[in-house]
Amino acid sequence: MIKSSSDLYKSVSYIVLALAITVILYFVNDLSLQSMLAFTTYSIFGLFCLWSSFHLCKSKNLIIAFLFFEITYLSVYVLSISLSLNTSLFDFIKGVDFSFVVFSLLACIKFVFNRITNRSSSTNTSSTDSCSSYSCSSNSCLKSSNLSKHLLSILYFVLVFIGLFFPLLMICYYVATGSLISSDIILALAQTNGSEGKEFFVSNFNVMWVVSFVILVVIVAVNYILLNRVCAVSKSAESDKQSSKLQFALFSLFVMIVSVFLALPRMDYLPYAVVKVTSRQLDNFDAYKKQKGARLEKLKTLTSLKLDNNLNADGNLFVLVIGESETRDRMGVYGFNRDNTPNLSKESESLNTVLFKNAYASWPQTVQVLSYALTQANQYSSIETVDAFSIMEIAKAAGYTTYWLSNQRKFGVYETPITVVASTADKEIWTNGSAKMEGVFFDEELLNRFPKIDPKKNNFIVIHLMGSHQKYEKRLPSEYKVFKGDDENNDYYDDTVLYTDHIVSEIYKKAKSYSSFMGMVYLSDHGEDPHIVGGHDPVNVNAQMLRIPAVVYFSDNYINRCKNIYTNLKANSDNYWSNDLLYELMVSLLRIEGAPNFNLKLDIASDKYDLDKNSVMTMYGKKHVTEYEK
């Protein structure tokens, strides 16, 4: 009776304590990540979890397993420091707390699993004796015990792998590429499907990926073996001590599982923080899609939105061509030593053409760039992407018939603001219906799909090229593979620039064939370095990934009717500019008046444009473009 009462009181105490800890974690969960109270609470909690694991599993094996586990977890901070990335002591300690909780959770689970298999083994031993007395086969009695043991071993291996996932993600990517994985890289992969992911891997495969895989196997195997040897349970499973330990183990396990939801997400372990930022960005993409209807309804109420009277009364055609991964550092028109832009070089001498000399990408990846370039959001304003009108929405509301043509895939695993912007168009044309980024058609197919417009109406056409996307040799027909040098990768890349020059020139000719043609803009989303994994990795960003071409073509009619726009662009062509300001440029070129929150100081087609070399930003406002000059 005394023993029974004691066990009851102990069980009730553990339940009350577990609930108290849960309430504390729930309260702290609402505090700022920089809160000293939260920091202290998580630090104490991490130490409590570590003490719990050592209380359950007092052995040298546990110490060895703990040390190797910590080396695995905290090595990401060593890699971070080696790459000169900022890591504060505050964040490092929270990362240590994170590792303590995960290790303790795995140790606690191991104790419970050992207790289950021990009890099963003891039960089956007595069952075997019983079976023998009734002439039963002892083998069948042992099979169930062995099966449960194997199933728990497999489950525990899976749990160890999950527990090691975050450091493995960063360590293995570092070994394979020489850089730490970032939220932007994960985001880019999230917009691919299985086929395109395979294509990326094949394009960038080298022996270091094999080394990375071997390291992954070794880390998981060693951690599993070491953890598998801790928390041995005495065979006298019914002893008071073991029973008491089981109660404590269940209490600890409950608290640690609660912490997975209320504490771990707040501890900001470096790799987990990267994944968390990515998740937040994907949520923003989803929010942008959901807000589309609200934005369109708001535009309908804007009575001030109208077209400038200087445009043709009987129809105007404007075209925006968005290139892919083209850096001006490898373009003949910008001084590169290969003549891979013969058409643009010729057109740049025309008075009808304005070539931007100092254009930069706001980021070295497509989705992030176009999320700004095609909307009001930019590096210089406080407008969030989720609330920003797109150029397609504004043009449509102002009376343009809108078209979206693309030779890239419409969807990856996740929808993005690009596809949401495209879906606003009156007509969408996606030539790449395959699962692969490699596509079915070369960019020339976009010429065949160029819409048959009514020249008596106002038309706005956006064309998104495949351009110089990686696997360069697959982006162009054989007749454009003309450059032969010491570096095949560079040769193929320069070939894609030549082919893009041809495509843009043909689109220009097609557009000019309409009497209503007024103007065309061509620019690249970002640049490319053919010798960097992925070609435009933001972690290894350099000037080639950010220095882009940008050019505006005018008709004589537009120059005569909108002389001020033409004059301002000519005057500003040498000024520094980032392509997140494309929205402002297009609103001006399309002569749309009354656009909400329009800022002339950010419009390079205005005489009030006031950005210069020292104020133009890149990397989403984190860097000045002067840091990426030659």
Mind listing the pLDDT tens digit for each residue in 535-580?
Answer: 677 777 899 999 999 999 999 999 999 999 999 999 999 999 999 9
Strands 576-578 and 353-355: unpaired
Paired with 461 in beta bridges are: 319, 403
Please check whether residue 296 is in contact with residue 518, taking contact to mean a CB–CB distance below 8 angstroms: no
Give the Cα separation of 504 and 321 in Å (integer): 8
- 53 near 101, Cβ under 8 Å? no
Contact present, 71 and 223 (Cβ < 8 Å): no
> Residue 591, by phi and psi: left (phi above 0), alpha (psi -120 to 50) or beta?
left
Q: Buried b / exposed e across 551-566, counting CB within 10 Å, b at 16+? A: bbbbbebbbebbeebb
Q: Which two tokens stand for residue 611?
A: 């950005």
Taking CA atoms, 582 is separated from 172, 219, 422, in Å, by: 38, 47, 16
In which band, very low, low, confident or very high, does the pLDDT at 58 lie, cut at 50, 70 and 90?
Answer: confident
Bridge partner list, 592: 307
Helix axes 89-133, 60-82, angle to 10 degrees: 150
Q: Average the pLDDT over 228-249 and give the result.
A: 66
pLDDT of residue 336: 97
Q: What is the pLDDT of residues 318-345, one digit of tens each?
A: 999 999 999 999 999 999 999 999 999 9
**What's the rounded Cα separation, in Å, for the pair 412 and 69?**
35
Q: How far apart are CA 33 and CA 30, in angstroms?
A: 9
Q: Which residue has the higher pLDDT, 382 or 318?
A: 318
Query: What's 252's DSSP letter?
Result: H
Range 455-477 average pLDDT: 93
Q: What is the DSSP letter of 375?
A: B
Domain 317-628 has CATH 3.40.720.10: yes
* CA–CA gap between residue 536 and residue 155 (Å, rounded): 39
Whether pTM exceeds 0.75: no
Supply the pLDDT for residue 452: 93
**Rounded-to-integer distance, Cα 427 and Cα 417, Å:** 17
From the CB of residue 190, how many other CB atoms can be counted at a distance below 10 Å? 19
Tell me the sheet residues that pair with 405. 429, 463
- The answer to whether residue 470 scores a pLDDT higher than 50 is yes
Residue 134 — pLDDT band, cuts 50, 70, 90? very low
Region of poorest pLDDT, from 3-12, 51-60, 559-568: 3-12
Mean pLDDT of all residues in 387-394: 91
Q: Closest by alpha carbon to 618, among 543, 532, 552, 551?
A: 543
> How many angstroms separate the CA atoms of 97 and 87, rounded?
15
Check pLDDT > 60 for residue 585: yes
pLDDT in tens, 135-170: 445 565 556 667 778 888 899 999 999 999 989 988
> And the tokens for 573?
């062509």
Tell me the percentage of the chain whose pLDDT exceeds 70.
83
CA distance 156 to 475: 46
Please write the tens of the pLDDT for every residue from 212-225.
999 999 999 999 99
Name the strand (E) or helix (H) holding 238: none
8 A C-beta contact, residue 174 and residue 180: yes
The DSSP letter of residue 319 is E
Whether the Cβ atoms of residue 424 and residue 202 lie closer than 8 Å to each other: no
Furthest-apart CA pair in the chain: how many Å?
108
* Sign of the dihedral through C-alpha 476, 481, 487, 490: negative
Decide which of 77 and 465 is more confident: 465
Task: Look at residue 237 in the predicted model and tell me its pLDDT.
Answer: 45
Express each pLDDT in 403-443 by its tens digit.
999 998 775 544 567 888 888 899 999 887 654 445 568 99
pLDDT on residue 16: 85
For residue 56, is pLDDT > 90?
no
CA distance 439 to 467: 12
Per-residue confidence at 133, pLDDT binned at 50, 70, 90? very low
Specify the pLDDT at position 393.
92
Whether the per-residue pLDDT at 187 is higher than 80: the answer is: no
Q: Lowest mean pLDDT: which of 38-47, 140-149, 456-465, 550-559?
A: 140-149
**pLDDT tens track for 286-303:** 777 677 777 777 777 777
By the 8 A CB rule, do 392 and 404 touch?
A: yes
Give me the pLDDT at residue 418, please: 82
Q: What is the rounded average pLDDT for all residues in the chain? A: 85
Q: In this predicted model, which residue has the larger pLDDT, 433 or 19?
A: 19
pLDDT top residue among 191 and 477: 477
Band the pLDDT of 106: cuts 50, 70, 90: very high
Task: Count CB atoms within 10 A of the CB of residue 94.
Answer: 22
Ranked by mean pLDDT, the top range of 174-178, 184-188, 610-614 is: 610-614
In three-state form (DSSP H/G/I as H, E/B as E, the rest C), the secondary structure along 52-117 is HHHHHCCCHHHHHHHHHHHHHHHHHHHHHHHCCCCCCHHHHHHHHHHHHHHHHHHHHHHHHHHHHH
Most confident of 62-76, 77-91, 302-316, 576-590: 576-590
Residue 125 pLDDT exceeds 60: no
Q: Which pair of tokens denotes residue 269?
A: 């372990």
Q: Helix 183-190 crosses helix 270-290 at what angle (to 10 degrees)?
A: 50
Backbone angles phi, psi at 543, to 5 degrees: -60, -40
User: How does residue 116 score in pLDDT terms, banded at 50, 70 and 90?
Assistant: confident
> Domain boundaries in the chain?
2-127+151-280, 317-628
How many CB atoms neighbour CB 143 within 10 A? 12
- pLDDT at position 468 is 94
Mean per-residue pLDDT, 254-271: 80
Q: What's the CA angle centered on 127, arms 123 and 128, to 5 degrees?
A: 120
Question: Looking at this protein, which amino acid is placed at residue 421?
Answer: V
pLDDT at 136: 47
549 contacts 522 by C-beta, under 8 angstroms = yes
For residue 554 the two structure tokens come to 């005018």
Q: How far apart (Å, rounded) are the C-alpha atoms in residues 2 and 141?
A: 36
Higher pLDDT, 420 or 522: 522
